[in-house]
C-alpha cells in the first residue's frame, strides 16, 4: 500500500493534493496572524485559503502524478533513470492515464482531453440557447447565465482549440519531419497534465461560493476585481493552460529547428510544420501577456494592489491593452495550425502540389508579424486615445492580405485537380466557405465607424463563431478525420462522416448566420434576456443550435465505434507523400525504424516518380539536385 | 467557343448572376433599426459599400469551390490519377496580393473619411452628461443647456437637429453607452470621461443599451432616448427645473 503512495500516479497525487490544502491553510493562517488580523474568525479566511489552494493543489497534483520526478531526482543528485524510452507507447487504455513521454501517446491524450472539453463547452452552449430561446425566460438565473457564457468561452479557447491543435501537432509533427520524438519528451508530458488541471479548475468554479466566474472570458477589470471567488479560478486556471501552451510551443520550436531529418530544409517542410512553427512563435511571445493580465487581477483581488482601481490611481484601460496584446495573437494561435491542416488535406485530396508553396509559408510569417500590431482593434470603443484607432484599422485591414493569399492559393490548388470528396476534404471545403465569411466580417469590423455600432454585439458573436467554429473547428474536424487512420490504426465510417459534415455545415450557418442581423439590429451580447423585438430570430437560432449540438453526436459515435472496431488502416490510405504516411498505422514506437532522408518537396503530386522522403541511404548528389529542380519548376 | 470552355462560361455567368442577386438582397434586407442621426446615415452607407464590395469576393470563392467540385471531382477510373503538377504562378500571386491590398486600403481610407465626418465638432453643440452605474443610466443637463440650475434625471431627452456631446462617466465598473438608432457607442470607464457626439435627425423614442458586461443586472440596463423638437426639449427642461425647485432633485418619473 505504501508503495502505491510513493510511486508516481493518482494515489500519490491525491495524497499530495491533501498536503497542498493543509499547506495553504497553514500558510494563510500564519500570514494572517502575523499581519494582525485580530479575531480568530479572520485567521481562517475561506477566500484566502481557497486562493492559495488553487496554486498549491494543482502543483501538488503535478508532483504526485510524476511530472517532475526526473528533475527532482537529478536536482537531488540521486540516480536518474536514463531516458531509455521505457515508458514509450501505450499497450492499454490505462497507459493514457499516466505520465507518458511518447509524443504519440501525448498527442492522443491532448486530443481526447480537448474533445472532452469541447463536449462540455458545447453542452454549456446548449444551456445558454435554452435560456435565450425566449426573452425573459428563467431557465437559469442571471448569475448562472453569466457564468455559463464565461466558462463556455474559456473552455473552448483555452482547453479546446489551442490544445487540440497542439495535440494534433504533437502526434504528427515529429513524424512529418522524420524525428523519433519531440525534443523534450518530459516537458511534453508535463505540458499535457497541466491541461486537465486548468480545465477542471475552470469547470470547478461552478461549485465555488458565489458561482462560476461570470465576467466573460475577457474578465475586464474592475468588474473581475470585485467579483466572487469564482473569478480566481479563471485567473489561475489561465496560468496553467498558458504554461502548457508555452512549454509545448518551445518544444515545437526546438523540435522543428533541430530535429528535421537529413535533407528536410525549411522549404521542404510540410505546411503544417510551418504553421506550427509560426504559431509557436506567437505563443512564446504573446502568452506571458495574458498571464500578466490575470496576475494583475489576482493581486488586485487578493492583496489590494489597486492596479485597476481608478480612485487609487489605477488604470482601467491598461488591463485591456495587456489582455488583447495576447488575445489578439491568440486568434491566430487558434487559426494558423488550422491553415496548416487545410494545406495538407487539400494537397493530398486534390492530388496536386500546393499552389505557391513559398507564399503560403511567408504569409504565415507575415501574419505572425502583423498579428502583434492589431490588438487595439478590440478597443475601438474602449475610450482609449482616439488616434490609436487609425494605425490599428490599417494594420487590421492589411492582415487580411496574407490570409487572402492563402485562400486564393488553396482555390488554385483545387483547380484541375482530382478531387477526392471524402469527409476530410468536405470539411476543408466547408472551412473555405465559412472562414471566408468570417474573414469578410472581420474586415468590416476593421472599419471604425461600423465597428463603433456593432462592437460587443451579436455581430461580434457571429463573427467570432464564423472564425473559430467555421474556421478552427472545421479544420480540426478535417484534421481528425485525415489523421484518424494514422493515430488509431483504424478507418472511420465515411458515410457517417459525410452526414456529420453536412449536418454541421447546415446547422452551423443556421445558428450563427442570423446572429449578424441581431447585432446590427441592436442586440448586445452577454445578456440573459433581451428586447421582445429579437424573439423570433433567437428562437430560430436556439432550434438550429440544438441541431448543431446533435450533429456532434454523429462524430462522437463514429469516432468511438471506428476506434473500437473499424477496419484496419494501411500505412498510407490517402497515398500521401509526407513522411508520417510512410510508416505503419499506428506508427512504430520510435516512429522510424530507419531515419528517412528527404529528397524533395512534400506535395509533388503529379510529378512522375516524385518522392518526398526515402528510407534508403541518400542518393548521389546529382540525383538529389535533379529532384530539387523539380520542386521549384515554374508552371506554364 | 470550344466545347471545353462551356462549363467555365456557365460558371462565370452564374457567378455574375449570384453577385447581382446578392446585391439586390443586401438592399432588400432591413439590416438596421431606425436611422435617427446624421452619423447613422454615413455609417449605414459605409456598411452598404462594404457589403457590395464583399459579395463578389465571397461569390468568387464559392464559385471556384463549386466549379472544382463539379468539374474536377474524381471520376470512376481516376482513383490513382494525379492532377497536373502546377507549383504556382508568380503573376497570379502578385495579382491576388496587390488587388486586395488596394481594395482594403481604399475601404479603410473611406472609413476614415466617414469617421472624420461623424466626429467633427460643429459650430454649435450642447453637452449632456451620462453616468453609468450598476445597473442604471442617469443624465446630467448642465446650466449651459438648462439656462438655470443643473438638472439630473434618469430620462434622456435630446433636441432634434442639434449636435449633442455626451460626456460619460462611470461610478463603478465599465459600461458602454450605446444607442443603436444613432449607430454610436463608447465605453463608460471609471476614472476617465469619454465622449461621443451625435446629431439626431428623427424624432421618436429609441433604446439606450448598456453594451458592456457590467454584472448581474447588465441584461436589463436599458433606457430610452427621446428625440424631440427643440421647443419640446426646452419645455421638458423647464418642467425639470420647476420640479427640482419644487424639491425633487432626481427629476422625472422613471422610464
Q: What are phi and psi of B134, to 5 degrees?
A: -60, 115
Question: Taking a C-beta distance cutoff of 8 angstroms, is the pair A252, A183 a contact?
Answer: no
Mean pLDDT of chain A: 92
pLDDT of residue A513: 97
Question: Taking a C-beta distance cutoff of 8 angstroms, is the pair A363, A321 a contact?
Answer: no
pLDDT of residue A620 exceeding 60: no
Count CB neighbours of A567 within 10 A: 12
User: Cβ neighbours of residue A303 under 8 Å, at least 6 residues apart?
Assistant: none
B39 neighbourhood in chain A, CB within 8 Å:
449
pLDDT of residue A349 exceeding 80: yes
Q: What mean pLDDT comes out for the span A423-451?
A: 97
Min mean pLDDT across A43-57, B37-51, B52-66 is at: A43-57
Give the class (CATH, top level) of A100-270: mainly alpha
Q: Of the candidates B226, B179, B156, B154, which has an alpha carbon nearest to the alpha carbon of residue A524?
A: B179
Interface check for B191 against chain A (CB to CB < 8 A): the answer is yes
Q: Which among A215, A446, A521 has the least Cβ separation from residue B213?
A: A215
pLDDT of residue A70: 87
Mean pLDDT of chain B: 92
Q: Of the candidates B112, B220, B129, which has an alpha carbon nearest to the alpha carbon of residue A452?
A: B112
Min mean pLDDT across A3-7, A274-278, A371-375, B169-173 is at: A3-7
Interface check for B84 against chain A (CB to CB < 8 A): the answer is yes
pLDDT of residue A94: 82
Q: What percent of chain A is modeled with pLDDT above 90?
A: 84
Question: Taking a C-beta distance cutoff of 8 angstroms, is the pair B198, B179 a contact?
Answer: yes
Give bridge partners of residue A112 from the DSSP assignment. Answer: none
Q: What mean pLDDT comes out for the span A168-184?
A: 95
How confident is the model over A89-127, as pLDDT tens digits?
777 788 888 888 899 999 999 999 999 999 999 999 999
User: Cβ neighbours of residue B102 under 8 Å, at least 6 residues apart?
Assistant: none
Q: What mean pLDDT comes out for the span A35-60?
A: 82
In this structure, what C-alpha cell is assigned to residue B53?
464590395
A389 conformational bin, left if phi > 0, alpha if psi -120 to 50, beta if neither: alpha
Minimal C-alpha gap between B105 and chain A (Å):
7
How confident is the model over A206-255, as pLDDT tens digits?
999 999 999 999 999 999 999 999 999 999 999 999 999 999 999 999 99
Q: For residue A149, name the pLDDT band (cuts at 50, 70, 90).
A: very high
pLDDT of residue A86: 58
Q: To probe the interface with B, which of A314, A361, A424, A447 has the most B CB atoms within 10 Å?
A: A447
Find, in chain B, the residue whose alpha carbon is nearest to that of A438: B58
Q: What are phi and psi of A221, to 5 degrees?
A: -80, 155
Q: What are phi and psi of B208, to 5 degrees?
A: -110, 130
How confident is the model over A257-276, as pLDDT tens digits?
999 999 999 999 999 999 99
Q: Of the candidates B152, B162, B144, which has an alpha carbon nearest to the alpha carbon of residue B250?
A: B152
The more confidently predicted of residues A349 and A632 is A349
Q: For residue B35, name the pLDDT band (cuts at 50, 70, 90).
A: very high
Min mean pLDDT across A61-70, A329-338, A398-407 is at: A61-70
How confident is the model over A446-471, as pLDDT tens digits?
999 999 999 999 999 999 999 999 99
Domain ranges of chain A: 2-75, 100-270, 579-631
pLDDT of residue A43 exceeding 80: no
Q: What mean pLDDT comes out for the span B2-14?
A: 84
Q: Indicate the Cα dihedral angle A227, A228, A229, A235, nearest 10°.
A: -20
Q: What mean pLDDT comes out for the span A37-45?
A: 64
Find, in chain B, the residue whose alpha carbon is nearest to that of A526: B213
pTM of the model: 0.94
Q: For residue B255, name the pLDDT band (cuts at 50, 70, 90).
A: very low
Q: For residue A632, name the pLDDT band (cuts at 50, 70, 90).
A: very low
In this structure, what C-alpha cell is assigned to residue A182?
519531440
Question: Taking a C-beta distance cutoff of 8 angstroms, is the pair A418, B46 a contact?
Answer: no
How confident is the model over A405-414, as pLDDT tens digits?
999 999 999 9
pLDDT of residue A130: 97
A418 neighbourhood in chain B, CB within 8 Å:
72, 74, 78, 81-83
Give bridge partners of residue B176 from the DSSP assignment. Answer: B187
Distance between CA A569 and CA A562 in Å, rounded? 11
User: How high is the ipTM of this complex?
Assistant: 0.94
User: Which DSSP category does A160 fall into?
Assistant: I
Q: Which of A31-35, A613-617, B78-82 has the highest mean pLDDT?
A: B78-82
- Strand, helix or coil at A496? helix
pLDDT of residue A44: 72
* Residue A14 buriedness (CB in 10 A; 0-12 / 13-18 / 19+): middle
Mark out the alpha helices in A96-135 (DSSP H runs).
103-132
Nearest 5 degrees, angle CA A550-CA A554-CA A555? 110
* Residue B175, CA distances (Å) to A205, A380, B215 in order: 25, 14, 10
CB contact under 8 A, B100 and A400: yes
CB contact under 8 A, B111 and A450: yes
Question: Taking a C-beta distance cutoff of 8 angstroms, is the pair A466, A438 a contact?
Answer: yes
Amino acid at each position: 500500500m505504501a508503495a502505491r503512495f510513493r510511486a508516481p500516479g493518482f494515489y500519490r497525487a491525491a495524497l499530495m493534493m491533501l498536503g497542498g490544502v493543509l499547506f495553504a491553510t497553514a500558510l494563510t493562517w500564519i500570514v494572517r496572524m502575523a499581519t494582525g488580523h485580530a479575531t480568530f474568525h479572520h485567521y481562517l479566511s475561506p477566500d484566502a485559503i481557497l486562493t492559495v489552494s488553487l496554486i498549491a493543489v494543482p502543483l501538488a497534483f503535478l508532483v504526485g502524478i510524476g511530472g517532475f520526478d526526473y528533475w527532482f531526482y537529478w536536482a537531488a543528485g540521486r540516480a536518474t533513470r536514463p531516458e531509455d524510452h521505457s515508458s514509450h507507447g501505450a499497450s492499454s487504455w490505462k497507459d493514457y492515464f499516466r505520465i507518458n513521454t511518447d509524443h504519440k501517446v501525448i498527442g492522443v491524450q491532448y486530443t481526447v482531453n480537448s474533445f472532452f472539453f469541447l463536449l462540455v463547452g458545447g453542452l454549456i452552449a446548449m444551456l445558454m440557447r435554452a435560456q435565450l430561446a425566449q426573452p425573459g425566460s428563467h431557465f437559469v438565473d442571471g448569475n448562472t447565465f453569466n457564468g455559463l457564457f464565461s466558462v463556455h468561452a474559456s473552455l473552448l479557447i483555452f482547453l479546446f482549440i489551442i490544445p487540440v491543435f497542439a495535440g494534433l501537432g504533437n502526434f504528427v509533427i515529429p513524424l512529418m519531419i522524420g524525428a523519433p520524438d519531440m525534443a523534450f519528451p518530459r516537458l511534453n508530458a508535463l505540458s499535457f497534465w497541466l491541461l486537465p488541471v486548468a480545465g477542471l479548475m475552470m469547470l470547478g468554479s461552478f461549485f465555488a461560493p458565489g458561482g462560476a466566474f461570470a465576467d466573460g472570458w475577457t474578465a475586464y477589470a474592475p468588474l473581475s476585481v470585485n467579483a466572487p471567488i469564482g473569478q480566481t479560478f479563471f485567473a489561475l486556471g489561465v496560468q496553467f493552460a498558458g504554461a502548457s501552451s508555452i512549454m509545448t510551443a518551445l518544444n515545437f520550436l526546438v523540435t522543428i529547428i533541430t530535429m528535421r531529418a537529413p535533407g528536410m530544409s525549411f522549404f521542404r517542410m510540410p505546411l503544417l510544420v510551418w504553421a506550427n512553427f509560426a504559431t509557436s512563435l506567437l505563443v512564446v511571445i504573446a502568452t506571458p501577456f495574458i498571464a500578466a493580465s490575470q496576475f494583475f487581477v489576482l493581486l488586485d483581488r487578493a492583496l489590494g494592489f489597486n492596479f485597476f482601481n481608478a480612485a487609487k490611481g489605477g488604470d482601467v484601460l491598461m488591463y485591456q491593452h495587456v489582455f488583447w496584446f495576447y488575445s489578439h495573437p491568440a486568434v491566430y494561435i487558434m487559426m494558423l495550425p488550422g491553415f496548416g491542416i487545410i494545406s495538407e488535406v487539400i494537397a493530398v485530396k486534390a492530388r496536386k502540389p500546393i499552389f505557391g508553396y513559398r507564399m503560403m509559408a511567408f504569409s504565415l510569417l507575415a501574419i505572425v508579424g502583423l498579428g502583434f500590431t492589431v490588438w487595439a482593434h478590440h478597443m475601438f470603443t474602449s475610450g482609449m486615445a482616439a488616434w490609436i484607432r487609425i494605425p490599428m484599422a490599417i494594420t487590421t485591414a492589411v492582415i487580411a492580405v496574407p490570409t487572402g493569399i492563402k485562400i486564393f492559393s488553396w482555390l488554385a490548388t483545387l483547380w484541375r485537380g482530382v478531387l477526392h470528396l471524402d469527409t476530410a476534404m468536405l470539411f476543408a471545403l466547408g472551412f473555405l466557405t465559412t472562414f471566408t465569411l468570417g474573414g469578410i466580417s472581420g474586415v468590416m469590423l476593421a472599419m471604425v465607424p461600423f465597428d463603433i455600432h456593432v462592437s460587443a454585439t451579436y455581430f461580434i458573436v457571429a463573427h467570432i463563431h464564423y472564425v473559430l467554429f467555421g474556421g478552427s473547428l472545421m479544420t480540426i474536424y478535417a484534421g481528425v478525420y485525415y489523421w484518424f487512420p494514422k493515430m488509431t490504426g483504424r478507418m472511420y465510417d465515411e458515410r457517417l462522416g459525410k452526414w456529420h459534415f453536412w449536418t454541421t455545415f447546415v446547422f452551423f450557418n443556421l445558428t450563427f448566420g442570423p446572429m449578424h442581423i441581431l447585432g446590427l439590429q441592436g442586440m448586445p451580447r452577454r445578456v440573459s434576456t433581451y428586447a421582445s423585438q429579437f424573439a423570433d430570430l433567437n428562437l430560430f437560432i436556439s432550434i438550429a443550435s440544438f441541431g448543431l449540438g446533435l450533429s456532434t453526436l454523429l462524430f462522437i459515435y463514429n469516432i468511438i465505434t471506428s476506434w473500437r472496431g473499424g477496419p484496419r488502416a494501411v500505412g498510407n490510405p490517402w497515398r500521401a507523400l509526407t513522411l508520417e504516411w510512410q510508416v505503419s498505422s499506428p506508427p512504430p514506437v520510435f516512429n522510424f525504424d530507419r531515419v528517412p532522408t528527404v529528397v524533395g518537396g512534400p506535395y509533388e503530386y503529379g510529378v512522375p516518380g516524385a518522392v518526398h522522403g526515402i528510407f534508403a541511404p541518400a542518393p548521389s548528389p546529382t540525383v538529389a539536385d535533379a529532384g530539387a529542380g523539380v520542386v521549384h519548376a515554374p508552371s506554364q | 467557343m470550344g466545347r471545353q470552355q462551356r462549363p467555365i462560361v456557365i460558371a462565370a455567368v452564374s457567378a455574375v448572376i449570384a453577385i447581382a442577386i446578392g446585391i439586390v438582397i443586401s438592399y432588400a434586407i432591413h439590416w438596421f433599426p431606425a436611422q435617427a442621426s446624421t452619423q447613422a446615415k454615413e455609417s449605414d452607407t459605409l456598411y452598404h459599400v462594404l457589403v457590395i464590395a464583399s459579395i463578389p469576393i465571397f461569390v468568387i470563392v464559392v464559385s471556384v469551390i463549386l466549379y472544382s467540385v463539379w468539374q474536377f471531382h474524381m471520376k470512376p477510373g481516376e482513383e490513382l490519377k494525379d492532377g497536373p503538377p502546377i507549383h504556382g504562378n508568380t503573376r497570379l500571386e502578385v495579382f491576388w496580393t496587390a488587388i486586395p491590398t488596394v481594395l482594403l486600403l481604399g475601404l479603410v481610407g473611406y472609413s476614415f473619411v466617414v469617421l472624420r465626418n461623424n466626429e467633427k465638432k460643429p459650430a454649435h453643440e450642447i453637452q449632456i452628461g451620462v453616468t453609468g452605474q450598476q445597473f442604471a443610466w442617469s443624465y446630467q443637463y448642465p446650466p449651459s443647456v438648462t439656462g438655470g440650475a443643473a438638472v439630473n434625471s434618469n430620462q434622456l431627452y435630446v433636441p432634434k437637429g442639434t449636435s449633442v456631446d455626451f460626456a460619460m462617466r462611470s461610478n463603478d465598473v465599465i459600461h458602454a453607452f450605446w444607442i443603436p438608432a444613432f449607430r454610436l457607442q463608447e465605453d463608460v470607464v471609471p476614472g476617465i470621461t469619454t465622449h461621443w457626439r451625435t446629431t439626431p435627425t428623427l424624432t421618436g423614442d429609441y433604446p439606450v443599451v448598456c453594451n458592456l458586461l457590467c454584472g448581474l443586472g447588465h441584461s436589463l440596463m436599458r433606457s430610452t432616448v427621446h428625440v424631440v423638437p427643440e421647443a419640446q426639449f426646452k419645455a421638458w427642461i423647464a418642467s425639470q427645473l420647476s420640479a427640482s425647485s419644487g424639491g425633487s432633485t432626481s427629476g422625472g418619473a422613471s422610464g
